[in-house]
Amino acid sequence: MTELKNIRNFSIVAHIDHGKSTLADRLIQLTGTVAERDMKQQLLDAMDIERERGITIKANSVRIEYPAKDGQTYILNLIDTPGHVDFAYEVSRSMQAVEGSLLVVDATQGVEAQTLANVYQAIDADHEIVPVLNKIDLPAAEPERVKEQIEDVIGIDASEAVEISAKTGLGIPDVLEAIVHRLPAPTGDAAAPLKAMLVDSWYDPYLGVVVMIRVIDGVVKKGDQIKMMQTGATYKIDKLSVLKPQMVDIAELGPGEIGVFTASIKQVRDTKVGDTITHEKKPCDKPLPGFKPSIPVVFCGLFPVDANDFDDLRDAIEKLQLNDASFSSEMETSAALGFGFRCGFLGLLHLEVIRDRLEREYDLDLITTAPSVVYHIHMKDGTMQELHNPADMPDLTYVDHIEEPRIKATILVPDEYLGDVLKLCQDRRGIQLDLTYAGPRAMVVYDLPLNEVVFDFYDRLKSVTKGYASFDYQFTEYREDNLVKMQILVNDEPVDALSMMVHRDRAEQRGRAMCEKLKELIPRHMFKIPIQAAIGGKVIARETLSALRKDVTAKCYGGDATRKKKLLEKQKAGKKKMRQFGKVEIPQEAFISALKMDS
């Protein structure tokens, strides 16, 4: 068991692409944790999709042994965290398990929106923060300006910031020394009853569920009978290891240490993240406060293209939920798309990543419906319902008012694009809260409705600012607004999969765009088809798809005009009857294209 004063637990936080994973690589390489031949870039990003997109999705941990200049050997437990706003939940969990953070800031870009969000999480967790300026070898690097910016915008002292280049390895020994001398050692009592925090869990096809813990007090040994305090379940520890990214077996873990164990746990559902683990016979008095559970903000339906793949989709979703605590799902059926799942995500990137993993790792073809958010429907009898799918909207005569989720969005943008960003936020029903300057860039804070953001806000923001804006948001509250359910009727039949919630002022333009799009997508039939957008009983937009017609008078040569008239009247009556009983086939591609509508 390592002495407490020789342990340092820390995480690396930064904006996307400021070099967290590369810095982790250098720290691992310099201390010889991994043999040179096994070294590869982004060593801690294990998933294919992480390596391909160049982003971190799961927080990963590694234990490094470092012989410092003062002659002591230190154990450093490093957690590399994601930078994207959709995976902020991973960051907040990692923060609770460690005492300090390295704040990595790109010396050419300076402080970005996500830098702020992640630093505030570290400050909330009472971390000691060491600023690190990365990419110092680039000609565009301005370390002095960025140090000032860190002091002005974040308010932490950056005079002793470590200047490094994670790519070339310049200044990495200084980072190790700063970790050892500037970050605090953990506290804990080895003689007290066992108290350990469950930081993460994932499914391994060979070992079953692997659980990552941070020991606060007490000692955990191989063969111990342990108890999870939230679920009350008890297990016997089969294997205790530390991660040097690969698992290395160890006999015991003491206070302040981070490690993993397996205990023949069958399902990851049995391991609640943030739970407290203690000994069955001699438990600790009270559990740790745990984490706030993650709240999904974006919902969408996932349906298999081929209805026979439904069972495969169900298995795949269950396996992914084992690995990702912030992803939720429930079954749903749709008249147009058949059986599928209504899934909840933390954001659009999270949605994309899950969809990619389902298609890739489980070889499925999927249809994704338009993303929507959860509305609160307040009824006249004083009750409140959550509305996940606009098709389930109750009768309006019983509804008192509808509330939608609002967010606080922080956007950092170069001055010349500020006007476009303000216009975009106004168009999306935003309320401006604040506008300040951080150096040459404006920092705009807006109160926006979430349903306007989940659709395509991020893409529009990137296009109006040529990719220079950075964007971060947090959920604030539910607020009442004038929202209505817009239905699409094809040949007077409502199409469930296309109904959506819109603001009343926007309904007409959304409805018109949808009808025009469907007119192009639905193939013509033998009878004319009206396509309408309606709110309740009131039609607000309409397009008519003209009929295909056969020339019934072709066989008439000469003779009386009444012969032709009779044939045309007969055709007209037939078309009228056909329209009454005819079914309109809407091809699946039409659904997909209509839902990808770019307003």
Please, what is the average pLDDT of the chain? 79
The pLDDT > 70 percentage for the chain reads 86
Helix (H) or strand (E) holding 449: strand 441-449
Q: Are the beta carbons of 504 and 429 closer than 8 angstroms?
A: no
Structure-token pair, residue 329: 């799902």
Instruction: Write the pLDDT tens digit of every residue in 465-491.
Output: 877 777 777 778 888 888 888 888 888
CA 544 to chain CA centroid, Å, is 40
H runs (alpha helix) in 278-369: 310-323, 348-361
Q: Are the beta carbons of 341 and 358 closer than 8 angstroms?
A: no
3-state secondary structure of 426: helix
The mean pLDDT of 269-276, rounded to a whole number, is: 73
- Closest among 276, 98, 284 to 191, alpha carbons compared: 284
Is 134 assigned to a binding site? yes
- Distance CA(590)–CA(599), nearest Å, equals 17
Q: Are the beta carbons of 198 and 96 closer than 8 angstroms?
A: no
3-state secondary structure of 299: strand
Q: To 5 degrees, how large is the angle CA 587–CA 592–CA 595?
A: 125
Instruction: Write the pLDDT tens digit of every residue in 525-549.
Output: 877 888 999 988 889 999 998 888 7
Q: Are the beta carbons of 209 and 267 closer than 8 angstroms?
A: yes
Q: Taking each helix axis as running N to C, give the angle between helix 588-595 and helix 504-521, from 0 to 180 degrees, rounded to the nearest 10.
A: 150
Q: Write the CB contacts of 486 (distance below 8 Å, at least 6 apart in sequence).
A: 499, 500, 501, 502, 507, 510, 511, 533, 534, 535, 540
Compute the Cα dihedral for 82, 86, 88, 93 and give only its sign. negative
Is 137 assigned to a binding site? yes
Amino acid sitting at position 296: P
Is 344 assigned to a binding site? no
CB atoms within 10 A of CB 57: 22
Instruction: Write the pLDDT tens digit of every residue in 212-233.
Output: 888 888 888 888 888 888 778 8
Does 313 score more than 80 pLDDT? yes
H runs (alpha helix) in 465-560: 504-521
Residue 522 DSSP symbol:
S
HSE value, Cβ hemisphere, 13 Å, CA-based, for 27: 33
- Distance CA(293)–CA(122), nearest Å, equals 18
| pLDDT score recorded for residue 262 | 86
Does 588 score more than 50 pLDDT? yes
- Distance CA(101)–CA(83), nearest Å, equals 14
Residue 150 DSSP symbol:
I
| pLDDT score recorded for residue 599 | 43
Residue 125 DSSP symbol:
T
| pLDDT score recorded for residue 505 | 85
Instruction: Write the pLDDT tens digit of every residue in 339-371.
Output: 888 888 877 777 878 888 888 888 888 877 777
The mean pLDDT of 274-302, rounded to a whole number, is: 77
Structure-token pair, residue 295: 């709240």
Instruction: Write the pLDDT tens digit of every residue in 543-582.
Output: 998 888 777 777 777 778 888 888 888 888 887 777 666 6
Residue 525 DSSP symbol:
-
Compute the Cα dihedral for 271, 276, 277, 283 and give only its sign. negative
Q: Hey, which residues does 412 pair with through a beta bridge?
A: 443, 470
Structure-token pair, residue 27: 């720290």
Residue 151 DSSP symbol:
I
Does 44 score more than 60 pLDDT? no
Q: CA-based diameter of the chain, in Å? A: 115
Residue labelled with tokens 């390592």: 2
Which of 198-202, 339-343, 400-404 has the lowest average pLDDT? 198-202
Is 241 assigned to a binding site? no
CB atoms within 10 A of CB 85: 25
Does 239 score more than 80 pLDDT? yes
Q: Write the CB contacts of 244 (distance below 8 Å, at least 6 apart in sequence).
A: 33, 34, 62, 63, 64
- Distance CA(242)–CA(256), nearest Å, equals 13
Residue labelled with tokens 């307003």: 599
Does 210 score more than 60 pLDDT? yes
CB atoms within 10 A of CB 564: 13
Question: pLDDT higher for 554 or 54?
Answer: 554
3-state secondary structure of 106: strand
| pLDDT score recorded for residue 49 | 54
Question: pLDDT higher for 286 or 42?
Answer: 286
H runs (alpha helix) in 522-598: 561-581, 588-595
Is 164 assigned to a binding site? no
Q: Domains in the chain, ordered, with CATH?
A: 4-182 (3.40.50.300), 195-279 (2.40.30.10), 298-371 (3.30.70.870), 376-481 (3.30.70.240), 484-595 (3.30.70.2570)
Does 123 score more than 70 pLDDT? yes
3-state secondary structure string across 163-228: ECECCCCECHHHHHHHHHHHCCCCCCCCCCCCEEEEEEEEEECCCEEEEEEEEEECCEECCCEEEE
Do the bridges between strand 298-304 and strand 258-262 make them parallel or antiparallel, or are there none, so unpaired?
Answer: unpaired
Is 135 assigned to a binding site? yes
- Distance CA(489)–CA(342), nearest Å, equals 23
